[in-house]
Chains A and B, each alone.
Chain A
Amino acid sequence: MKRIGVFVCHCGLNIAGSVAVARVVEAIKDYPGVVHAENYIYMCSDPGQDLVRKAIREKSLNGIVMANCSPFLHERTFRNVVASEGLNPYFCEIANIREHCSWPHAYDKEVATKKAIAIIKATVEKVRRNISLTPMVVPLTKRALVIGGGVAGMQAALDIANGGYEVLLVERSPTIGGHATQLSGTFPTLDRPPCLVAPKMAEVANHPNIKLYTYAEIEEVSGYVGNFTVKIKRKPSYIEDEKCDLCGLCLENCPATFPAEFDRGLSQRKALYLSPQAVPQKLVIDPRSCLHFNGDQCRACEEVCPAKAIDFLQQETIVEKKVGAIIVATGYDLFPRERIGEYAEDPDVIDGLQFERILSPSGPTGGEVRRPSDGKVPQEVVFIQCVGSRDPEHGVPYCSRVCCMYTAKQAVLYKRTVPQGQAYIFYMDIRSDAKGYEEFVQRAMEEDQVLYLRGRVSKVFRDGDKIKVWGVDTLSGKSIEISADLVILATAMVPSPGAKELARKLNIIFDQYGFLTEAHPKLRPVETLTSGIYLAGTAQWPRDLPDTVSSASGSASKILSLFSRKELLHEPTIASVDEEVCSGCGYCVSICAYRAIEIDTKRRVARVNEAVCEGCGACAATCPSGAMQHKNFTARQFFEMIDVATGAYV
């Protein structure tokens, strides 16, 4: 028989303002099983906690109902209090009479008080049948996997590696660095990214704790927090790295060309290529552009290679590794501008990243601003913001967050290269919401004389040598026509291709746009709902560099704190199977979002992998026979609670 104590918190006036706490105590103190009931202004305070401890000692309580705020806030607090008196912490339950009662019924004291009593009585019924539980101990592999080698991935890998743990960094392309290496400068300080990113790339490549897997992808992930098994697919580069000494003869002799991804198609590369400043310095043959792989007999590179490093027969290899935690930093891509009809297909209508390349000293024009069509220095440049972004019509209702700033930055960099030129920016709103950003935009207007035009562009089309831009300035109410030499579209940020497939492999959630979803938008912004998997950078949401780096460091610190433990403790309030009743129908397997249940084919019963189960309860609700039960949330407990809670209203 449980001896239950009920503690009603006033939460200042949050609860006491609408719930008559004294009446609640009066109503509950003679309820069957309740041997102690009291109220106090702040139960979570030290004196409040002491009241609980004292009552447990003096009245030999072995069931505690804390009537206060949401369990999200103080369940752990009070379970620790209960545990400090030697009771099993799972004998303590929270009756939420704040979020569920006093707040929604703030203007009706009668209703609030009656409901509070019902909630507490129902919780007493639950505690009556709670069983004693102990957290499970799960082993922990102290090695992390970081997926994506952009700024986010590199930062996360470095933070974890510097903490003394091994990191596997998997990058899909032949080099790490990501989009940041393509940029011409950063806002608001106008640093050149090579100065920012290159040292990081080198640090990652040389770090003793980081194992780099470039030109590789994640094939399969299984397991659970602390014990993931990943299969990494290494794509064939068709070049034996140990033999290749980067003499470059093959590059000179390769006859096949392909638009270079790094310059976003503004320059050509060979089928055999090495991105500028690539880390690691390894050549790859791209089978999409290589003649040999497209039905031709070409072996030009193989013939000239003095080191005999070319191997057209190379196959992909799978590496299997055990890791304890995973960071997903798969980054972004740009919205395909062909999907918006207003902007003509024209070599002089380019996207933001292409202009970054044109502005970049390492770009196809060597840092001189020349337009792609005829190499002329553009005298009038029009920037169009929100191309795709904030446009539900084209499936991107969100703001891409970085375009306002990078457009201002590009306009400033353009003006510094072409001082006599004029830059126009069509914008909807200017969103410059971080340190030094607003000042940067103001400086662009004042010092660099960038003309901001508030309005949209209706049409962009070729007119002889010029690109005509028809738009409107809503501040003066005038329609505007600009004869521009170059038009730059700030296209929306969308998730990197393949992010969804990866999310499915990892069993994490993505939103309707394909961005990966965090566990809680405010309180758990770097975790996913699958424990042990964390997010970093723009895979989660459009971000600029500082935000990306902080989210990466946030994820890394989560992993460091995870790895600082000897072993993992897992919540014991999870599903369990009554094997006598289970018929092995498998409904639970199909409903489980965490892949925690499997069917024992021999005995035809479901089996729960206790380390993977997150205790969501979906299986228990689905089970047709009631064999699947959620510990301390059993059907019996729920029905008793419902009876009592609704009894007061019948």
Chain B
Amino acid sequence: MQFTSQQAQEIGNPTFAKSVKEISGTTLDRCYQCLTCSLGCPVNFAMDYLPNQIIRMVQLGLKEQVLKSSTIWLCATCETCVARCPNEVDVLRVMDTLREMALREGVKGKETIIPIFHETFLGSIRQWGRQHELSMLLLLKLKTRDIFSDLGLGVKMLLKGKLKLLPPGVKGSKDVKAIFEKTKGEM
């Protein structure tokens, strides 16, 4: 199967749909496009494809378009869609799966900052055993090359003592590191 329209060069890829189903453990085939998921989604205004469209595109095997979409990163994992879906399609697990796939395959999509944020956040926890906001913020600023936005707010928070200068001392920081090591293979 081929998609002849301009935006889709990718050849329909049944293995993609199959692996999404397997990893997410949810069956997408039941979706009958009632749009309940998209209607209730609190961030639907910002998405390039609505959640129901993402489900359809996965069914059709449009891998590249799906993994590059902003939707998979904008999803706030609030589970409204999952709670409302009449066919028990776990949209949240699908979105998680797609994010994982995009990261693992190094797909550069429309949304760049959100993956960097996730990465930096997890890196901070891995390093300190708990979140250290100041170093994480600085790192994020450097990585995204966006130094000056929210600078005033940062200074205010610092002055009020909301941002700790030193990293937190955590007893189990080694255990946290071990967790990261253990899950590394799976990620």
Contacts and interface: CB of A to CB of B under 8 A. Distances in A.
B41 interface: no
Given A476-B60, A478-B60, A449 B4 contact: no
A482 B2 contact: yes
A475 B29 contact: no
A476 B2 contact: no
Given A449-B14, A482-B1, A483-B1, 8 more contacts: A442-B30, A454-B33, A473-B60, A478-B5, A479-B3, A479-B4, A480-B2, A481-B1
Interface string A445-488: 11001010010000000000000001001011011111100000
Contacts of B173: none
B8 interface: yes
Residue from B2, B4, B29 having most chain A Cβ neighbours under 10 A: B29
B57 interface: yes
Nearest to A380: B1
A278 B48 CA distance: 61
B71 interface: no
B62 interface: yes
B54 to A, nearest CB: 10
B124 interface: no
18 contacts: A422-B1, A422-B14, A424-B1, A446-B29, A446-B30, A470-B4, A473-B56, A473-B60, A475-B53, A476-B57, A476-B60, A478-B3, A478-B5, A478-B8, A478-B60, A479-B3, A479-B5, A480-B3
B33 A475 contact: yes
Contacts of B14: 422, 449
A456 to B, nearest CB: 15
A616 to B, nearest CB: 48
Interface in B1-22: 1-5, 8, 14
A480 B2 CA distance: 6
B27 interface: yes
Given A442-B29, A446-B29, A446-B30, A451 B3 contact: no
Contact of B29 (A449, A470, A478): A449
B59 interface: yes
A380 B2 CA distance: 13
Given A442-B29, A445-B29, A480 B4 contact: yes
A479 B14 CA distance: 18
Interface in A398-445: 422, 424, 442, 445
A473 B8 CA distance: 13
A58 to B, nearest CB: 64
Contacts of B5: 478-479
Contacts of A446: 27, 29-30
A445 B30 contact: yes
Interface string B59-85: 110100000000000000000000000
Contacts of A445: 29-30
A483 B5 CA distance: 16
Contacts of A481: 1-4
Nearest to A468: B2
A476 B53 CA distance: 6
Contacts of B30: 442, 445-446
Contacts of B29: 442, 445-446, 449
Contact of B62 (A424, A442, A476, A483): A476
Residue from B1, B4, B14 having most chain A Cβ neighbours under 10 A: B1
A446 B32 CA distance: 12
Interface string A388-400: 0000000000000
A482 B14 CA distance: 14
A479 B12 CA distance: 12
A481 B2 CA distance: 5
Contacts of B53: 475-476
Contacts of B57: 476
Contacts of B27: 446
Interface in B67-115: none
A451 B4 contact: no
Residue from A380, A473, A482, A483 having most chain B Cβ neighbours under 10 A: A473
Interface string A180-196: 00000000000000000
A473 B56 CA distance: 10
Interface string A306-339: 0000000000000000000000000000000000
A235 B29 CA distance: 53
Nearest to A453: B60
A63 B90 CA distance: 72
B91 to A, nearest CB: 16
Identify the 4 closest CB pairs spanning chains A and B, nearest first: A445-B29, A446-B29, A481-B2, A475-B56
A449 B17 CA distance: 10
B27 to A, nearest CB: 5
A380 B59 CA distance: 17
Nearest to B52: A475
Nearest to A448: B29
Contacts of A451: 59-60
Contacts of B59: 451
A20 to B, nearest CB: 50
A332 B5 CA distance: 40
Contacts of B4: 470, 479-481
Contacts of A473: 56, 60
A480 B59 CA distance: 14
Contacts of A483: 1-2
Contacts of B60: 451, 473, 476, 478
Residue from A451, A454, A470, A482 having most chain B Cβ neighbours under 10 A: A451
Contacts of A424: 1
A473 to B, nearest CB: 7
Contacts of A449: 14, 29
Contacts of A380: 1
Contacts of A470: 4
B60 to A, nearest CB: 6
Contacts of A454: 33
A136 B68 CA distance: 83
B168 to A, nearest CB: 47
Interface string B141-166: 00000000000000000000000000
Residue from B8, B33, B59, B62 having most chain A Cβ neighbours under 10 A: B59
A488 B165 CA distance: 71
A164 to B, nearest CB: 50
Contacts of B2: 480-483
Contacts of B56: 473, 475-476
B64 to A, nearest CB: 13
A483 B60 CA distance: 15
A637 B8 CA distance: 77
Contacts of B33: 454, 475
A336 to B, nearest CB: 29
